[in-house]
Every structure is written in structure tokens, then in C-alpha cells.
Structure 1
Amino acid sequence: MPIAPLWLLVALQATVSAASMVVEIVAGRMLAPYVGMSLYTWTSVIAVVLAGFSAGHWWGGRLADRPGINPMSATGWALAAAAATTALAGVALRVSAGPVLTAFPQPVWGITGLTLAAFFLPSLFAGIPAPLLTQVSLAGPSRQGQALGAMFASGAIGAILGTLLAGFVFISWLGSVWTLAIVTLAYIAGATLCFWLAKQLRAMQSVTLLGLAALAIATSLSPGPCTVESRYFCLQSVDVSADTSRPTRAMVIDHLVHGISAEDAPEVMFTDHTAMLDALTQLRTQTADPSSFLIGGGNYALPRAFAERGITKTTVAEIDPAVTALAARDFWFDPETAHILHQDARRALLGDQTRYDVIIGDAFTDTAVPQHLVTREFFDLVQSRLLPDGSYLMNVVDYADRMQAVGSLVRTLREVFPVVEVWTEARRPEPGERVVMVIAAGTAETRRNSFTVPAPERTTFAVLGAGFVDQIAAAGVYLTDDYAPIDRLVGPRD
């Protein structure tokens, strides 16, 4: 007599597969506050999870061949282990983050090490049931080919369902921590079913499963790193006030500070890139109330400063409504002072025929660069949305002794704009230092070749020499929608 009907085995395999894929999607989100969300993050997550699945399948196959083993009981213990390691994944991530990132400062190795520490074991144990359940299905009355096909299909369908649930339902409605708790409970339910089918649901198994359920609830109640976890980012509002009577806060998106604002100093920029973008906007526009289009809102420091000066024609394309809401709640930004579009900037510009005095690109963040916002085709679109004497400004971060990303951007922008300048702090950078720069493109040079503004200390910024810019541009890569390896250009040093 078969241990379980085929339909039940298929449903169980689909559930395990769906749960494991939910964990894979959540892994990328949970890593973001520590290492950001980039090509390197997703590459590490996919590689580590697949490695865990592979090792689990191999182990499950060895168990299936072991004489005298009850495959349903073995599956139950594997799911119990998957529940335990999934419930503790967030704890493992927090505990290992400091030591791993200190031991492996090179981003690729650091990201891979963190992923291994937190998410290899959940994937390993989730991979064990597949060969065990398949063995059970082959012992039933169904034809072996039919049983094999059904088990393989259920795994694929479960993976699809888990991916859709994670991306469209669980993370956006429950957040990462509660999503892992739901997965843990799903594993516990599966383990309970397996022990029951194996007729081994005894005191030890029951106590173990109840303990795991309590662990899942306890870990879900522990606070995570995010002030707000949106569909796109982990957002943190951090108090950095030196004086409690003068509130100052930083907005951290994933693992990077995207802006700092003080309640009583709306026109003071607290980061180099916003200080340069603000000053260059004033230097390169000819009217008292210039029209502007901002790519990325961040903590809305620039729109807030513009409004303070009486600038009334500001449009912001910020893809994440939660960013705007947090800026309004914690960073003293009044949403009524700007026209806000909660959509991708390229899509927003395509649907907007307005021509602006200045377009500001402030979506360039560490190793996570939107590739579609750095190409010749995008710069053509930007140029078509500028007034004849308008300017395009964008911030960029690059290694001072490499300048591959800046050179590539300059080379590409020169195909669209007759004048392209590179601005940075007027000092000699340290060897290997990552330097914040702003590129200014348009039809005319900036009226001055240096300026001093608070950032928040008085800081002087200057334009790089034309000969040096020519040199780095000559070595740059021409960026197009078909080929824009910007992650590699700004990524870890060799």
C-alpha cells in the first residue's frame, strides 16, 4: 500500500519548492541594508541558493538509497531543519555581517560570504525532500513516467508560484521578517504532515515542531533594520543630530546614505554631491525660477532647497512612493512644493513633453546603477527634454586612480552635448579613494571654474582640467542600451 497518494506528494513538493523560492527572493532584500542591491548581490544569492539546492538534492538522494530509512520521516526532519535555519536566517545575517565584511572588504567576497552564512543552510535542507518524495511517488500505483513528470512539474510550478508570491504579495505586504516567519510555518506544516504519514508523529517530533513555531514567531517580532520596508528598498531614518534642539536626520536607502537634512537649514546640503548639484543648478540656469526635473528623490533635500528659494517649477521622478512619504514625515519636505511622479525616470521623461532648464540625475548609487539611465539613448531623450540653453547634471562615484565609469559617461555624453564638464572637491584624492563627482553637460561652459559652498562645512569644488577629462574619456566605454557594463565600471577593484 503506498505511503501517500500522488496528488498529496505533488502538493507537498510544490509547497516546499514555493517556500524555498520565497526565501531566495527575500535573501536579496535582507542583504540590501548590509551590501546594497546590485548585480553582485543577485549573482551571489542565485549562486549560493542553487549550490544549497544541489547539495540538498545530492544528500536527499543518498538518504533515499539508505536501507531501512523511512523517506517520509526523513523528509519531515529535513523540513524541520529547513524551518529552523529559515527562522534564524535574519539572526545569522546580523551576527555574521560585521565579521564577514571586515574579513572580506572586497565587495564580491563580502556579499558571497554573507549570503553563505545566512541562506546556504535553508536552501540545503529545502533541497533534500525532492528525491525522497520522488522515491515515494515511484512506489505508488501511478506509472513511473507519470509520477516523475508530475513531481518535476510540481517543483517548477511551485518555484514560479513562490517567486510571484514573494515579489508581489509577501514582501510588499508583510516585509522580509514576517515573510520568513510564514515560510518557517509552511515548513513546519509540511514536516507535521510527513511525520503523520510516516506514523511517527510522537512526543519528540511534536515538541520539536512546537518549538520551531515559537522560534518563528519570536524572530518575526524582533525589530529589523528598516524604518520602512517598501516594495523597492529598505528605508531607514537615522537621527544624526549633534544638538538635540536642532534635529538633523539621514535617509539610508538599503546600505547607503542618500541624503541628510536639518530642520532649521533647508538650503544647506550635507553631502558633496547634493552641494555640487545645488550650486551648479544656480550657476548654469539664467532665470530666478528655473524649471527642473529631478531623477530620484532621496530625502528630497534639493526640492526642499529649491522651494525655500521660491523655485516653483520642480518635477521629481521617484519610483518608490515610500521614499516620498518618509521624506515628508521625517525630513521636513512638503510634497505640495513639487510635482511628483512615482515612476521610473526614463518612462516619466518619455511621457512628458515639457522642456526644462535643468535635468538632474541623482540615481547613481555605489555599485547599484540603473543601466538604462546611463546610455546614449537615454541621454538623447534628456537632450530632447531640455531648453536650448538647458543643462543636464548627474552625480557619479568612481575610483580616483581608475575613472572608468566617469570616462565612459563623458565619452557617451559628448556624443549628445557639445560641452561636458566634470566637477569634484578641489583637493588631491588619496590613492585608491572613491571620489564623488558631478558631470555637467550642455551647450555652454559653467560661468565659473570653482565655487565654495557649505557641505555642511565650507568646501571648495572645482572643474577638472579639459586635458585630463579628454584622457579619461578616450579610455572610456561607449554606453548604449545594448551594452552598458556600468556595474563593472564602478564595481570592485581588481
Structure 2
Amino acid sequence: MNILASHGAADERVLVYETNTLFDEKGSFRVLQFADDAVQGAIDLQQPDRILFEYPRALIHLIEHNSTKENNGGDDIFIIGHGIGTLSSYFADSNCVTAEISETVVQLSQQHFGWKGSPILIGDGRLLLEQEQRLFDCIVLDAFTSKGNPQHLSTVQFFDMARAKLKRQGTLLINVTNKGKLDVRSNAIYNTLQVVFPHTYAFTLQAAEERDIRNSILIGSNHPIRYRLRSMAGFAPYHPESGYVMYD
């Protein structure tokens, strides 16, 4: 492993490094990683335009397949959580706004991952979304702490506000890491979504063991959710267990 940058200490550490192996794949990769060893983004140095991870590919399909007819492509998108800028780069031709709490993450994405998107709003994503005056076709929540999805981005009050910022047929998509339908926390997020949105759906990647950590995508929408399973990059529908509802 060749370390290119290291910022912060202990729980706040952000690392950029190059490696010849990433999740059992051989090659040449550059990785952005947080202190808890959670990989936040990576590029294939031999194919920089390739989207390595399944979850952004699935999110892209869901955004495009559920875009409204009047704009034909989900023109107005608000993203909370930048990483290396995979989603905002893909939707560079749309009216895409990104909120990122860490200025260091933005700087590293520019210096080491070639990100050249539109300006990013630095600050808490909830407050920045609340301040927006326009409505969005899609809001994407891709923000994590060492404990998972932030509590204040998972409550009835937050989802109420997010729904108010969506167009009539708008969609909220949430990337979570969990243990599938056995995960109490993500089940609570999904149950909270159901309180606010008339249509909800959940997808997850398959894992070798039931309790293995994997990515899942939770959706709340004002309209029935459309998708093509063959375009979901290995994600499949699942039914989260009943759980508690989160409030501020």
C-alpha cells in the first residue's frame, strides 16, 4: 500500500492510498478511506471512468429510471455526501447540488481523484437542504459516520423536510451499510421512511453470510418506484423487518 495523503488523527483520519488489490480484485486502484476502514470511494487507475462499486451504479439506474417525464433525466438532484464525487461527476450535465461536511474530503477528491464538478456546499447536509429554495427530482443521502448513517439524517422530521423539497414525483434514495433484513438500525430507517412517504422500497446486495456487512439502498417516493432488476448491479429487493421509528 502506497499512502498518498493522510489528514486528521484517530477517529477523524482520512486516508488516500494506492493498492494492487481491492475487495479481492487485482489491478491498480486509488482509494479514499476513513478511520474506521470504511472505503468511501476508489478509482481504477487503468480505467478512471469505470464506476467500481455496485451501489453508485444502482443509484444511477434508480435516478434515471424514476426521472420525471417533464425533464427526462432527473435534472435537479441534491446529494448529501461527496466521497470522491462519483455521482456528481456522472450527473455533471444536470443541475446537481452536493453538500459535504468535510472540506478535506472535497480537497482530496480534487487533488487525487480528478473530480471537477460544480461547486460543493460545505456544511451539514440537513441545514443546507433546508435552505434550498427550489424543488428537486431526487435527493440522494450517501453520508456516513463511524457509527453508520447520521441520526439527524434518519428521523421523521428530516424525511418530512426532504419530502417537502421534492417535486410532486420526487424520490429520496439512501445508501446504507447493514446486515440485510437483520439490521436493527437500517430497519428503523426504513420504518421511519414508511411514516413519511406513500411509496417505499428496499434493495440489498447478496452476502456470503446473513450477518455480513453489505450495501443496501432504501427509497422513499411520492410515486410508485420503477426499476429493472438487470440494471441494479447485483442489488435485489428485500423486506426489512418491522422496527422502531426515529424522531429528533
Please give the TM-score of this superposition, normalised by the length of structure 1.
0.44
Q: Which moved further from structure 2: 323-332 or 409-418?
A: 409-418
Answer yes or no: is the 8 Å Cα contact 2:170–2:223 preserved in 1: no
Separation in 2, partners of 1:408, 1:424: 16
Whose radius of gyration is greater, 1 or 2?
1
Match of 2:247 among 480, 488, 492: 480
Match of 2:234 among 426, 449, 460: 460
Tell me what 2:97 maps to.
315
Answer yes or no: is the 8 Å Cα contact 1:365–1:397 preserved in 2: no
Separation in 1, partners of 2:124, 2:141: 12
Tell me what 2:216 maps to.
437
Asked if residue 394 in structure 1 is aligned to residue 180 in structure 2, the reply is no
Separation in 2, partners of 1:407, 1:449: 24
Match of 2:85 among 286, 300, 306: 300
Asked if residue 248 in structure 1 is aligned to residue 32 in structure 2, the reply is no
The 1:312–1:432 alpha-carbon spacing in structure 2 relative to 1, beyond 3 Å, is closer
Separation in 2, partners of 1:272, 1:289: 20
Match of 2:201 among 411, 418, 421: 421
- Paired AA for residue 246 in structure 2: L
More helix by share: 1
More strand by share: 2
Answer yes or no: is the 8 Å Cα contact 1:395–1:436 preserved in 2: yes
The 1:240–1:284 alpha-carbon spacing in structure 2 relative to 1, beyond 3 Å, is farther
| Structure 2 SS opposite 1:329 | helix
| Structure 2 SS opposite 1:480 | coil
Tell me what 2:136 maps to.
356
Instruction: Map 1:40-79 onto structure 2 (within 5 A).
Output: none
The RMSD of aligned alpha carbons is 2.6
Answer yes or no: is the 8 Å Cα contact 2:141–2:174 preserved in 1: yes
Instruction: Map 1:2-17 onto structure 2 (within 5 A).
Output: none
Separation in 1, partners of 2:219, 2:128: 21
Answer yes or no: is the 8 Å Cα contact 1:266–1:305 preserved in 2: no
TM superposition shift of 1:366: 5.3
TM superposition shift of 1:361: 0.3
Answer yes or no: is the 8 Å Cα contact 2:180–2:216 preserved in 1: no
**Bigger RCO of structures 1 and 2 (CA < 8 A, at least 6 apart):** 2
Instruction: Map 1:263-282 onto structure 2 (within 5 A).
Output: 265=47, 267-282=49-64
The 1:381–1:266 alpha-carbon spacing in structure 2 relative to 1, beyond 3 Å, is farther
Separation in 2, partners of 1:281, 1:263: 27
The 1:402–1:289 alpha-carbon spacing in structure 2 relative to 1, beyond 3 Å, is closer
Separation in 2, partners of 1:365, 1:303: 20
* Unaligned 5+ runs, structure 1: 1-223, 454-458, 482-494
Q: Which moved further from structure 2: 253-262 or 265-274?
A: 265-274
| Structure 2 SS opposite 1:281 | helix
Separation in 1, partners of 2:195, 2:176: 19
| Structure 1 SS opposite 2:167 | strand
Tell me what 2:163 maps to.
383
| Structure 1 SS opposite 2:230 | strand
Separation in 2, partners of 1:447, 1:401: 21
| Structure 2 SS opposite 1:476 | coil
Please give the TM-score of this superposition, normalised by the length of structure 2.
0.85
